[in-house]
Chains A and B, each alone.
Chain A
Amino acid sequence: MEMMRKERIDRGLKVRTEGLYAISSYREILYLMGPRLLLIVGVLALPFIFELAPYWKRVINIMFVYALLALSFDFLANYVGLVCLGGAFLTGVGGYFSAIYNVYLSFPTYLAIPCATITGAAFCTLCLIPCLPLRGVYFAIVTLMYPLLFTRIIEALDILGGTNGITGVDGFANQYVEHYIIILVVIGFLFAMRRFVNQDIGLVLRGVKDNDQSVRASGIDVTRMKILAVFVASLIGCFGGAYMAHLYMWAGISLFALDFSIIPIASVVIGGGGTLVGALIGSFILVPLSEILRAFGTFRIVIYCIILTGFIVFKSEGLMIFMQRKYHQFERWVKV
């Protein structure tokens, strides 16, 4: 009997697109640019596609917020080695800060959001600094606990509006602003992060994940690098929270909801960790799914958790990596 083995080879088109030859013909350019253009155009066109289903337009906005959180998680977990189990902490802080700026300090929306993003990120980073010099477990524990703790503290001390939250937050000028602010920011962060992780400083961060002792032996303060990474990830998350506060015109405890911690993790795992785009793809799948399952109440969370556990236990590579493989390589059976 003949023994066969599966062989995976880069496609000819892929090999030809490495180096200078990438711009030698339209076919090559399309091969490289195609997926990116598809993503950008598709994402930009979404609000128009859903003109027919207004309910879903609200969902799209939230979907992009989750995409931001997933991006933040993917960056921290797969490029720096810090697993953040509390994305809700970032949204909660961002949202409340923006509401505070807007309602208590009378900042207009387009000023409140950037201020909330930056100061919120600074606050989150400060809160997380104590656990950065320590083993990764502590970061996971602390990030997991912060949203739960802050929820209870706000509730118990009845500050910042207590269980009612901060009302009277300004909204956006019109619907299109609502959509395109978040969409453009998501695309912006996606390409910015892709650039960032390939810069020299991004490589240092990736080195921290692979072998932090080696990075130390090269004379680099690893804790300082982690602080930088957490700050960048917090910027992304806090923007999402600030955006939401103005989307709902309200900032409440629900900004610290578990959904914002769990769904990004599940999105990254399903979409393909370490690819940044995978985080987006994962959210594009999970969030609409979540809406469809809304009738089931909190049972949705049960489903996500089961899916998440399944992926983690069986170490699936995720959709994006699978798709990338299919796109760049072809398989065939070869005689041994």
Chain B
Amino acid sequence: MHIIIYGIINSITLSLISLGFTLVYSISRVPNFAHGALYILSGYLVWLFINKFAGFPYPFAIIAAIGLTAVVGALIYRFILIRIRGMEISEIIATYAIGLAILEGLRWGGLRGGTFTLPTFMAGSVNLFDVSVDYQRLIIVGVGILTFVSLYVFTRYTKIGLALRGIAQDERAAMMLGINSDMTAIVSLAIGSALSGFAAVLLLPLGNIVVETGYNVLIFAIAVCVIGGLGSWGGTIVASFVIGFAQILTEAFISTHYQMVVALLAIIVTLLVKPSGIFGKQKELEERV
């Protein structure tokens, strides 16, 4: 039982982390390697607001931080990525470099000297089927499911959402219908960064804000997305459950330290067996004639 509950929690955690990356890639084909950096940046901003400005209410800090992170994401596209659009490798290097700059910059001036934590939303825990689960984790699961549902509704029933889906499916066709590709890319990067910040705000109260987490988030997000199929939202969710449960199972039966090993093995197995991922389109890898 413990496995099932914590498996679900871990899986939803992973999917929240990875959704931002998948969204950005599926819509604008930009692999945003600054994803982990934006995650930590967001957490740091919340901490700044509530600790440096006396009396700043927590909820406002959260909204402000997520908003700022979204703006940073949009700026990254507007001033840097827009010039190297389409050259995937340059995009990877550039976003990775920016992410590194943010993370190491934070390590040097910001997240230095002392521990940085964010308060949990609700202290205490509850007993679920004989398993002790703290409220924060319950909130995470609840909010996570809510996020998926609202994203689903957003992309199916709102104009902007449909536009984003259209671009995700076929960029050229969408452009011919008058949808501005650059604008959508900016929006998608903003939403993706916001999602990253959103995940940070939910998850960081569980522990300390440490720069290392930024790299871990990047690794897990990429692992989940590669396994689920780069660009497939359904794949991301399914893959996060696969990896989420795999990690919990190894934790239960072998040891806690194997989380990364699981991620690594999962990637290698995926690349060997079905490179395009669980829901990925094989077409993308092969047919380039």
Q: Which residues of A contact B (CB under 8 A)?
A: 83, 85, 130-131, 133-138, 140-142, 144-145, 148-149, 152-153, 156-158, 213, 258, 262, 265, 296-299, 301-302, 304-306, 308-309, 312-314
**Cα separation A6 to B4 with both chains bound (whole Å):** 72
Whether A85 and B92, one on each chain, are in contact in the complex, defined by CB atoms closer than 8 angstroms, is yes
Contacts of A135 in B (CB 8 A): 284-285
Whether A298 and B104, one on each chain, are in contact in the complex, defined by CB atoms closer than 8 angstroms, is yes
Whether B94 and A85, one on each chain, are in contact in the complex, defined by CB atoms closer than 8 angstroms, is no
Interface size on B, residues (CB 8 A): 45
- Given A85-B92, A137-B88, A149-B264, are A305 and B285 neighbors across the interface (CB < 8 Å)? no
Select B219's contact among A136, A149, A158, A301, beta carbons within 8 Å.
Answer: A149
A-B contact pairs, 11 of them (CB 8 A): A85-B96, A134-B285, A137-B89, A142-B271, A144-B96, A145-B264, A258-B100, A296-B108, A302-B104, A305-B97, A313-B84
Q: Which residues of B contact A (CB under 8 A)?
A: 31, 33, 80, 83-84, 88-90, 92-94, 96-98, 100-101, 104-105, 107-109, 215-216, 218-219, 222-223, 226, 230, 257-261, 263-264, 267-268, 271-272, 275, 284-285, 288-289
Whether B107 and A145, one on each chain, are in contact in the complex, defined by CB atoms closer than 8 angstroms, is no
Chain B residue at minimal CB-CB distance from A269: B93
Select A302's contact among B108, B222, B261, beta carbons within 8 Å.
Answer: B108
Whether A145 and B84, one on each chain, are in contact in the complex, defined by CB atoms closer than 8 angstroms, is no
**Cα separation A83 to B97 with both chains bound (whole Å):** 14
Whether A136 and B89, one on each chain, are in contact in the complex, defined by CB atoms closer than 8 angstroms, is yes
A144, A157, A258, A312 interface centre (most CB from chain B within 10 Å): A312
- Given A83-B93, A131-B271, are A141 and B226 neighbors across the interface (CB < 8 Å)? yes
Contacts of B272 in A (CB 8 A): 130
Contacts of B33 in A (CB 8 A): 144
**Cα separation A184 to B104 with both chains bound (whole Å):** 35
Select B275's contact among A138, A153, A262, beta carbons within 8 Å.
Answer: A138
**Cα separation A197 to B263 with both chains bound (whole Å):** 37
For the complex, would chain A's binding face be called helix, strand, loop or mixed by DSSP majority?
helix
Select A141's contact among B31, B108, B109, beta carbons within 8 Å.
Answer: B31
Select A309's contact among B89, B94, B263, B268, beta carbons within 8 Å.
Answer: B94
Select B215's contact among A131, A148, A297, beta carbons within 8 Å.
Answer: A148
**Cα separation A297 to B264 with both chains bound (whole Å):** 30
Whether A152 and B267, one on each chain, are in contact in the complex, defined by CB atoms closer than 8 angstroms, is no
Select A301's contact among B80, B104, B226, B260, beta carbons within 8 Å.
Answer: B104
Whether B101 and A83, one on each chain, are in contact in the complex, defined by CB atoms closer than 8 angstroms, is no
Contacts of A258 in B (CB 8 A): 100
Contacts of B259 in A (CB 8 A): 156
Contacts of A85 in B (CB 8 A): 92-93, 96
Select A156's contact among B100, B257, B285, beta carbons within 8 Å.
Answer: B257
**Cα separation A333 to B74 with both chains bound (whole Å):** 43
**Cα separation A296 to B92 with both chains bound (whole Å):** 26
Whether B101 and A302, one on each chain, are in contact in the complex, defined by CB atoms closer than 8 angstroms, is yes
Contacts of A149 in B (CB 8 A): 219, 260, 263-264
Contacts of A297 in B (CB 8 A): 108
A155 to nearest B CB, angstroms?
8
Contacts of A313 in B (CB 8 A): 80, 83-84, 94
Known: A153-B260, A305-B104, A313-B94. 17 other contacts (CB 8 A): A135-B284, A137-B88, A141-B92, A144-B92, A145-B219, A152-B216, A152-B260, A153-B261, A156-B260, A157-B257, A157-B261, A301-B101, A302-B101, A302-B104, A305-B101, A306-B97, A313-B80
